[in-house]
Amino acid sequence: MNINIPSSPLPRIVIIGGGFAGISLAKKLKDKKVQVVLIDKHNYHTFQPLLYQVATGGLEAGSIAYPIRKIIQEFPDFYFRLGRVNEIDTQNQYVKTDIGELHYDYLVLANGSKTNYFGNKEIERNSMSMKTIPQSLNIRSLILENFEQALLVDDETERNAYMNFCLVGGGPTGVELAGALAEMKNAILQKDYPDLNIDNMQINLIQGDGRILNGMSQNASDEAEKFLTKLGVKVHKNVRVMNYDGRTITTNSNLTFDSATVIWTAGVQGAAIPGLKSESITKSHRIRVNEYNQVMGYDNVFAVGDIASMETQSFPQGHPMMAQPAIQQGALLGENLIKKIKGQKMKTFQYNDKGSMATIGRNKAVVDLPHYKFSGVFAWFVWMFVHLFSLIGFKNKAVVFLNWVYNYIRFDREGRLIIRPYKKKSFTAFTTDEV
């Protein structure tokens, strides 16, 4: 079955994925002489850098997501289809999806990355990940469900396990989540559960090598660790998680953790789709592209964002899997596709590193600019300003701002409704067979 798209004399560009890269590309193509079909498994764009605030109740999901159909509403000859792409047929120029097949003239893979468990199925089964809005809402529900459950058990070890949150991976996601959980502990859980001893709540951040935020400066790592420790987070460095059976984390040292909640942020991998030559796929399932984001070995197939691995001298493993390279690659590819269609020479991609930052909590952030590194209150304001203005849509900006002001003044988080229960089972009943 073919996906119905009105026929057009213009060349059809099919974009898979409405993340930072896909949307940035789409915006560049809006008034060009092409037909564009955007396919995504969600009907919304997710502002991933703030997912951790959804998971910890600081923001509602709707504030950091934006309807894709609304973004492309005014773009002529643009179509959106809600679907999951299963395979690519580069021979006949078709994508095969769960809603049918679609012919393309140019194909752009912008479908991002997914959590990497490095092959450990047991960890994958028992731990949470936080790459999407539904996953973030699951984490939020689970945190609250754990506390409700802790109230019901008599055994202290079991009760403490419900209040022990282990975050594996000390990158920006793990660090920001750890800080937000610590603030959630003080702002909400302390007050909402007066009949529990909240001092027994533990937040463990487990990092495999010698420093957290190891993609940032030494200064940022040190400051972030200081901030986290001050908030009560236990930072474990040079500790590698070996397994998690749903009950106990084992590591490469004597350290073990009894925990009902493990959030895995220790790795990402490309979400490569079957159908490309195996030599164009890297070990971490990204797609090898040249300096025009053209997939190695294909003329009309491109990849941008997390999924694209453009191996350069400065980035032998490809660019970092973050918003900035995705946005910049998407925008340039928009220009390049038009050039290519017109038979002009494409421009090569140059990554403009604007720096990176992470927030740890109230008045606490670290910022690495190319020539200037700082932390503390000012960094926190910079972080907020940059994130607020990067959100799509006036209303999302306004609502997020209102929430941040409210949360700041009131030391509160209102997103603590268990609307979609995640799981409710006795901790002692956890077995490795359960999914």
Contacts of residue 208, defined as CB under 8 A and 6 or more positions apart, other chains included, come to 169, 170, 238, 239, 240, 241, 266
Q: What is the helix, strand, coil percentage profile of the chain, to 5?
A: 35, 25, 40
Q: Is 51 in the site for a copy of itself (CB under 8 A)?
A: no
Please, how many CA atoms are within 13 Å of residue 170, restricted to the half-sphere of its CB?
29
Contacts of residue 193, defined as CB under 8 A and 6 or more positions apart, other chains included, come to 147, 150, 151
Residues between 336 and 365 that touch a copy of itself (CB under 8 A): none
Q: Is 62 in the site for a copy of itself (CB under 8 A)?
A: yes
Cβ distance 252 to 245 under 8 Å? no
Question: What tokens appear for 192 in the block?
Answer: 């909402």
Ramachandran class of 400: left when φ > 0, alpha when ψ lies in -120 to 50, beta otherwise: alpha
Placement of tokens 């994925």 in the chain: 17
Instruction: Give the nearest distance from C-beta 392 to a copy of itself in angstroms.
Output: 11
176 is catalytic: yes
Pick from 133, 203, 239, 323: which binds a copy of itself (CB under 8 A)? 133
Q: Is 156 in the site for a copy of itself (CB under 8 A)?
A: no
d(CA 67, CA 287): 27
Q: Is 195 in the site for a copy of itself (CB under 8 A)?
A: yes
- End-to-end C-alpha distance for the chain, whole angstroms: 33
Cβ distance 239 to 208 under 8 Å? yes
Q: Is 191 in the site for a copy of itself (CB under 8 A)?
A: yes
Closer to a copy of itself by Cβ: residue 347 or 410: 410
Closer to a copy of itself by Cβ: residue 369 or 402: 402
- Going by C-alpha positions, the residue among 228, 267, 262, 63 that lies closest to residue 143 is 262
Q: Is 30 in the site for a copy of itself (CB under 8 A)?
A: no
Q: Is 60 in the site for a copy of itself (CB under 8 A)?
A: yes
Question: What tokens appear for 368 in the block?
Answer: 């690495």
Closer to a copy of itself by Cβ: residue 101 or 353: 101
Instruction: Give the nearest distance from C-beta 398 to a copy of itself in angstroms.
Output: 6
Q: Which residue among 101, 145, 156, 176 is the active-site one? A: 176
Of the listed pieces 104-112, 256-264, 338-346, 387-395, which binds a copy of itself according to CB under 8 A? 387-395
Of the listed pieces 146-154, 275-283, 294-302, 319-327, which binds a copy of itself according to CB under 8 A? 146-154
Closer to a copy of itself by Cβ: residue 197 or 218: 197
Closer to a copy of itself by Cβ: residue 10 or 82: 82
Instruction: Give the nearest distance from C-beta 304 to a copy of itself in angstroms.
Output: 23
Give the H or E element holding residue 54. helix 51-55
- Going by C-alpha positions, the residue among 221, 226, 224, 203 that lies closest to residue 211 is 221
- Going by C-alpha positions, the residue among 269, 320, 315, 311 that lies closest to residue 293 is 311
Q: Is 279 in the site for a copy of itself (CB under 8 A)?
A: no
Pick from 6, 9, 210, 370: which binds a copy of itself (CB under 8 A)? 6
Residues between 388 and 417 that touch a copy of itself (CB under 8 A): 393-396, 398-399, 402-403, 406, 414-417
Closer to a copy of itself by Cβ: residue 24 or 97: 97
Cβ distance 161 to 247 under 8 Å? yes
Q: Is 137 in the site for a copy of itself (CB under 8 A)?
A: yes
Please, how many CA atoms are within 13 Å of residue 168, restricted to the half-sphere of its CB?
29
Pick from 73, 238, 243, 248: which binds a copy of itself (CB under 8 A)? 73
- Virtual CA dihedral for 229, 234, 239, 240, nearest 10 degrees? -120
Pick from 27, 30, 33, 81: which binds a copy of itself (CB under 8 A)? 81
Q: Is 55 in the site for a copy of itself (CB under 8 A)?
A: no
Q: Is 65 in the site for a copy of itself (CB under 8 A)?
A: yes
Binding residues vs a copy of itself (CB under 8 A): 3-6, 42-44, 60-63, 65-67, 69-70, 73, 79, 81-82, 99-100, 133-134, 137, 144, 148, 151-152, 154, 191-195, 393-396, 398-399, 402-403, 406, 414-420
Active site residues: 176
